[in-house]
Amino acid sequence: MADLTLTGKNPTSLTADALVVGTCSTSDGVAVVADQLPAALVEQLETLAPRLGVTGARQEVRTVPAGKDVSADVLVLTGLGERDADGTFDRETLRGAAGAAVRSLAGSRSAVVALPAVDEEELGAVVEGALLGAYAYTAYREEKAATKLAPVETLQVATPFARSARAKAAVARAEVLAAAVHGTRDLVNTPANDLYPASFVDAVKSAVKELGVKGVKVSVLDDKQLAAGGYGGLTGVGQGSARGPRMVKLSYSPPKPTDKVALVGKGITFDTGGISIKPAANMGAMKSDMAGAATVLHAVLAAARLGLPVAVTGYLCLAENMPGSNATRPGDVLTIRGGKTVEVLNTDAEGRLVMADGLVSAVEDGHDVVLDIATLTGAQMVALGKRVGGVMGTDDVRDEVKVAADTVGELFWPMPLPEELADGLKSKTADIANVGERWGGMLSAGIFLQSFVGDTPWAHLDIAGPSFNDAGAFGYTPVGGTGVGLRTLVGFLEGRGTTD
C-alpha cells in the first residue's frame, strides 16, 4: 500500500510526479478547486478547459503540464461534479475523485493530493479514496509489466489540518480500511489453482501473523471434522472436489465488549456449478465466488486493528464446487448442521448450502446479531445491477446495515423477504429445497438462509455483482476484485461499538 503523509505546506512547492487538484462544474463552465494554485494558472486552466475536454464531471480525470510555478511534473485534474447547496462536496464524491486521480497515476512514484476538505472527516474521505485508488494486482505479471502497472508509492495529502490529532486519527482509520480492502481484493483476484480451501486457511493464518493483530484466534475444521460434526452443506458441496472443504472460525474478543457480532462469509473458491454445470462463457470469474469469506476475514482483522469494543467472530465457509465422480447430484438430500434436511434440486445453488452450516454455527455460539455476506445469486444482478448490493433480513438489522453502507459510501439497497416465496422452497422429500421459483430468486435465497437463523437478529448481504468488476475501472474501484462490503461491515461494527 502507498506510504501516505499529511503536509501543511503549499502543494505547489512540493516535488512529485503529479499534483492532484479538483475541478467542478459551474453554471459558467468549469472551476478549478485549488486555493493555493497561482491565480494566473487557475485562470488559464479554466479558460482552456473546453479545449482540454475538462467538464468537471465526477471522476473525470485529465492530465496537463504543470507550469513553471508548480514543482510537480504534471497536474492531474479530477472532477468533483457540482457543489452541494452549502458549497462543499460530499464525502463519497471526494473519495471517488481522489481514487480516480491516484488510480490514473499507475507507474508513477509520487503524488501530492490537494482536494478541498473542510474538516477532518472530509480529509479522511480524501485519504481513504487515494489509498483505495493506489492498488494493482500484479502477482502474476512479468517484472516490466508489473512496474508499469504498479500504483503510486508515496502520497502526500495537503491540508490545513496536518497537525490535528483528529486528522491523524482519520488517516490511521483510512489506512486500516484500505489495507483491509486491498487484502480482500488480492484474495478475490487470486486464481483458483492457487487459492482453494486448504490454501485459503494458510492465507488466513498468514494475514493474522503479518498484521500482528492481537486478540485474534483462529480455529479450523477440516473435511473429516466437518463430516463428523454434521456440516452437511460444506461436506456435500465440497465432496466433488479433490480438495476438501474447510470451516474457519476467526475470533476477535476485546475486554468488556459492547456487543457480540457474527460475520458469516461464503467461500466457494471456484464454482463450476457442480453437476448442474455452468456455461463455459465467463466461468473464469467464478474464482471470485469466495469474496464473502475474504471480506469477513479482513473485516474481523480491521475490527481488531481499530480496537473496536465489539466482539466479532468470522465464519469462513470454504469449499470448491466441482463435478467430480463423488459430487452431490440433483435430487440428493443433505443434512445441515443442526439436523435440517435440504433437497438439492440444483447443485449450482451451492452457496446457500455452505452458508447454512455457517449460520447454524454462529447461532449455536450465541451472538447478539448475525450478518452474512455472499456472492449468492445471479438474480441480485438482474434486480440491482452490478454495482448495487442487496440487503435483507430482520427489519432493524437490515436498516442498520443500510445506514452503515450509506455512511461509508457503498451502495446497498434494502430488499424484502416475502412470505409467499417460502412456498416455492417446499420439498416433497426433505425439510426444504435449495431453490424455489424463478422469479425473485435473490429473495428466495434470502428466505432459505433465514430458515437457519431462528430468532437471532440477522441480515444477509448479496454482493454477487458488486464484488467483481469485469468492466472498466471507475473511481477508486479497479478491474477485478473490488472489496465491496468490507467498509460496510466495519461501519456496522463501529456503529455497534458506539451504541449505548
Catalytic residue among 173, 352, 398, 487: 352
Burial profile 220-236: b = 16 or more Cβ within 10 angstroms, e = fewer:
bbebeebbeeebbbbbb
Helices of type H across 271-343: 291-306
Q: Is 59 in contact with 79 (CB distance < 8 Å)?
A: yes
Distance CA 177, CA 179 (A): 5
How crowded is residue 277: how many other Cβ atoms within 10 Å of its Cβ? 15
Residue 380 near residue 476, CB atoms below 8 Å: no
Neighbouring residues of 194: CB distance < 8 A, sequence distance ≥ 6: none
In whole angstroms, what is the distance from residue 354 CA to residue 238 CA? Answer: 9
The answer to whether 220 touches 208, Cβ cutoff 8 Å, is: no
Is the sign of the CA dihedral 447, 448, 449, 451 positive or negative? positive
Residue 104, amino acid: S
- Three-state secondary structure call for residue 245: coil
Residue 337 a catalytic site member: no
Count CB-CB contacts under 10 A for residue 466. Answer: 27
Q: Assess whether 352 carries a catalytic annotation.
A: yes
Closest by CA to 23, choosing from 71, 75, 73, is 75
Nearest-10 crossing angle of helices 197-211, 291-306: 20
Phi and psi at residue 381, in whole multiples of 5°?
-70, -35
DSSP state of 233: H
**Which listed residue (278, 340, 386, 387) is catalytic?**
278
Gap between the Cα atoms of 59 and 78, Å rounded: 6
Show which residues are catalytic. Answer: 278, 352
